[in-house]
Amino acid sequence: MYIDPHIHMVSRTTDDYQRMALAGCVAITEPAFWAGYDRSTAQGFADYFRLLTDTEPKRAAQFGIAHHTWLCINPKESEDVGLAREVLGLIPGFLDRPNVLGIGEIGLNKNSRNELLVLEEHIALAKRYGVLILVHTPHLEDKLKGTILIMDAMRNQGVDPGRVLIDHVEEHTVRHVLDRGFWAGMTLYPDTKMTPQRAVDVFEVHGTDRLWINSAGDWGVSDPLAVPKCRVEMRRRGHLQDAIQKVSFDNPLQFLSQSGRFRLEP
Amino acid sequence: MMAGTPTHTKRQVIDDSFLENRAKVLDLAAFLDRVDRAAGALDAAGAKEAPDDDFRTDALRRAIALLLDGKPERARRILELWSDHSTEPIPAAPMKGALGTVDLR
Ligand SMILES: [Zn+2]
């Protein structure tokens, strides 16, 4: 059994749900993200939130997978602060839906001033409603700077780091994140991010506490079976079943259960 | 044993992954050869720059030097090498994607 705590099923086929279930997936969480194009209105986000809170849970349940979600306007669409504020205004209306765990995936993309402003407003919203936060960190050369700016923004608002997961960590950011008390996620991507091999290296260097793995499967080159493949890689390298279970099931269960909403049954 | 502690010996790690990484080194060599062989200047305006004047291939060469310095944590140090080390937010996002490295020249 495993949990994929970050996957964008809106971009995946029903066959993927079936293959994930066959590989042992029992629960997923789907953060709101960029659709590959900029939505032109807040109403476009309202429809997306309806899909995340109504349509996807039903599609997942057909395969025995419990579906959960996180809501936000993502940093790639945060340059337009006016639109971002309209979307922020919609979120409270969805927060009491049964599969909503919190605010996410918020964060930074190019580390711009408007992105940071919209991030701060999301953090304030999460604090006001007492919900968990899932963070997207920038890619490639922007990741290190963005990760630190994001953690500073959390600290400035007095957020409990034990209720925040910072995702897409790599070898140069994982220590910063864990040392400051946050949870950290590793995204297993076929080419541009972490490979399963490197993720297992990170466990060997930094241990398995407060760390999880996910596929972040979406509309790009990505693999909805990345989590079970990493479990196989750990096993192949001689890691004990306890450690495998910890990073792909126990840790996500522990973090997500803080929401009071996380379930293993659909 | 602490969860996550490596269990394989050096010999096992090399036996297991040498061929895969041998192939990756050849890919890198062939990529640099391909850049050398390709026609045209890098600058669209027709400037006569050598291919390794591109900031990305330059960053790659600097990373390769780190591979050879005999010190540990190569992956972390290479990622740090390619990272933006400024600390203030930029005025506005110029694009959505990222290039893979800052210009180190
Ligand atoms: Zn994502």
B36-65 residues labelled b (16+ CB within 10 A) or e (exposed): eeeeeebeeeeeeeeeeebbebebbeebee
Ramachandran angles phi, psi of B72, nearest 5°: -80, 180
Residues of A in contact with B92 (CB under 8 A): 79, 112-114
Residue B86 confidence (pLDDT): 98
Instruction: Chain A: give the shortest CA distance to residue B13, in Å.
Output: 9
**Cβ pair B91:A113 closer than 8 A:** yes
- A34 to chain B: which residues are within 8 Å by CB? 96
Cα angle, residue A220 at apex, residues B31 and B25 outer, rounded to 5°? 20
The CATH architecture annotation of domain A2-259 reads: Alpha-Beta Barrel (3.20)
Structural domain count, chain B:
1
Cβ of A141 within 8 Å of Cβ of B82? The answer is yes
Closest CA to A239 of A198, A194, A203: A203
Give the position of tokens 């407060």: A210
pLDDT > 90 in chain A, percent: 98
Identify the pLDDT of residue A106.
Answer: 98
Put simply, whether A191 touches B (Cβ < 8 Å) is no
Across B1-31, b (16+ Cβ under 10 Å) vs e yields eebbebeeeeeeeeeeeeeeeeeeeeeeeee
- pLDDT at residue B39, rounded to an integer: 79
pLDDT tens for A163-178 read 999 999 999 999 999 9
Q: What is the pLDDT of residues B8-17, one digit of tens each?
A: 899 999 999 9
Task: Report how far residue B66's alpha carbon sits from residue A68's, in angstroms, rounded to the nearest whole number.
Answer: 43
Give the distance from residue A18's alpha carbon to the nearest chain B alpha carbon, in angstroms: 30
* Sequence letter at residue B65: A
Structure tokens at A134: 């899932």
What pLDDT does B44 receive?
A: 52
Q: Would you say residue B70 lies in a domain? A: yes
* The pLDDT of residue A35: 92
Q: What is the pLDDT of residues B18-77, one digit of tens each?
A: 999 999 999 999 999 998 898 766 655 555 555 457 899 999 999 999 999 999 999 999
Query: What pLDDT, in 10s, does the model give residues B45-55?
Result: 555 555 457 89
Residues of chain B with Cβ-Cβ distance to A203 below 8 Å are 3-4
Q: Is A48 helix (H, G, I), strand (E, B) or coil?
A: helix
pLDDT digits (tens, 9 = 90+) for A220-252: 999 999 999 999 999 999 999 999 999 999 999
Query: Length of chain B, please?
Result: 105
Residue A156 has what pLDDT?
98
Mean pLDDT in residue range A119-143: 98
The answer to whether B5 contacts A204, with C-beta atoms less than 8 Å apart, is yes
Q: What residue numbers bound the domain in which B73 lies?
A: 52-82+101-105
Question: Are A137 and A173 in contact, with CB atoms under 8 Å apart?
Answer: yes
- Give the C-alpha separation, A8 to A48, whole Å: 12
Residue B1 reports pLDDT greater than 80: no
User: For residues A15 and A19, what is the distance between their CA atoms, to the nearest angstrom?
Assistant: 6
What's the confidence (pLDDT) of residue A191?
72
Beta bridge mates, A69:
A30, A100
How close is the Cα of A31 to the center of ligand 1, in Å? Answer: 6
Q: Where are the domains of chain A?
A: 2-259
What six digits make up the tokens of B16?
A: 């297991």
Q: Is residue B41 part of a domain?
A: no
Least confident of A2-6, A113-117, A191-195: A191-195
pLDDT above 80 (res A182)? yes
Separation of CA B53 and ligand 1 centre (Å): 34
Q: What is the pLDDT of residue B22?
A: 97
Give the DSSP letter string of B37-88. HS-S-SSTT-----GGGSHHHHHHHHHHHHHTS--S-HHHHHHHHTS----S
Lowest-confidence segment of A118-122, A258-262, B54-58, B98-102 by average pLDDT: B54-58
Say what angle helices A113-129 and A143-156 make with each other, to 10 degrees: 40
Task: Name the pTM for this structure.
Answer: 0.95
Phi and psi dihedrals of B94, rounded to 5? -80, -20
Give residue A190's pLDDT band: very low, low, confident or very high (50, 70, 90).
confident
CA gap A34, A248 in Å, rounded: 25
Which residues are paired to A183 by β-bridges?
A165
pLDDT of A219 above 60: yes
Cβ–Cβ contact A213 with B under 8 A? no
Residues A11/A31, Cβ–Cβ less than 8 Å: no
Least confident of A133-137, B32-36, B61-65, B99-103: B32-36
Whether A106 contacts A74, CB under 8 Å? yes
Please indicate, yes or no, if residue B91 is contained in any of the structural domains. no
Determine the pLDDT at residue A189: 86
Query: Pick from A113, A141, A197: which is nearest to B102 by CB?
Result: A141
pLDDT at A38 over 80: yes
For residues A11-36, give the mean pLDDT. Answer: 97
The answer to whether residue B62 sits within a structural domain is yes
Chain A residue numbers with beta carbons less than 8 Å from the beta carbon of B79 are 143-144, 170-172
CA quadruple A81, A139, A177, B59: dihedral sign: negative
Residues 6+ apart with CB under 8 A from B34: none
What is the whole-number distance in angstroms between the Cα of residue B45 and the centre of ligand 1? 38
